[in-house]
Structure 1
Amino acid sequence: MIATPVRGRDAEARLARALHSSAHAAGLAIELADVRARPWASATFVGIQVSLVVSSPRSPTLGRWLSDLPLAELPMRDHLLASLALDRIEDDGTVVLTTITALVIEN
């Protein structure tokens, strides 16, 4: 289930596509179970804070991908990934649900 379309030019869609591409390159299939976004701004930057829940079958590859994700380069046209954190990981032995929070800045 994808809560927000992966098509589009907004930061959420671009981040979702970047995550899908990164997972695919690692040999993983992921689904976005929930995507939420809210505007964010500082004195010098404007962007959006995105919270996503990613679902994937449990595997050693998934564990490596998740551990590398906070430092991964996720290219997004017209946007810059300023930070990414894994907030919560739920593993029922078959499926892993990971809550990710990211700060995306407009370029």
Structure 2
Amino acid sequence: MSRGPDVTTLLERRLLLAGQAGGHGITIDGIESTPWASATFNGARHRVRLAGRATAELEAWLQALPEAELPLRGHLVADLALLSSETDGDRLCAEIEVLTVEER
């Protein structure tokens, strides 16, 4: 019996859907995930590199991303931070950090 996709895959899919819903054709250029735990929660910390066509709208979407709802089956997005964003020609590259915790 399959348990379904892991949290890293769920996060990647949700970010792509959120970008698409905002009208931004973003790509995920890489995700690095490491397990994370506190005294009461288990989860993972994810560093995500994404890119898209450099527009003011994409930059605004990235700035608003920390407040966005990103539902993930069996997990909660506990924190999301925009670490960096830079334009290289007509391409905007950004790095975000996301903390997910398992729902109980």
Q: How does the TM-score come out when normalised to structure 2?
A: 0.92
In structure 2, how many angstroms separate the alpha carbons of the residues matched to 1:61 and 1:26?
9
Indicate whether 1:10 and 2:6 are aligned.
yes
Matched, 1:43 2:39: yes
Aligned residue pairs total 100
Give the 5 Å matches for 1:1-107: 9-107=5-103
Deviations 1:3-37 (A, max 9, x none): xxxxx621111111111111111001111111100
State the TM-score, normalizing by the size of structure 1.
0.89
Q: Secondary structure at the match of 1:80?
A: strand
Three-state SS of the structure 1 residue aligned to 2:89 is: coil
Deviation at 1:63, TM superposition (A): 1.3
Instruction: For residue 41 of structure 1, report the CA deviation from its aligned partner.
Output: 0.1
- Cα root mean square deviation, aligned: 1.0
- List gaps (5 residues or longer) in structure 2: none
1:88 and 1:63 map into 2 onto residues whose CA distance is 11
Q: Deviations over 1:26-63 (max 9, x none)?
A: 00111111110000000000000000100111012101
CA distance in 2, matches of 1:64, 1:88: 13
* Matching residue's letter, 2:18: S
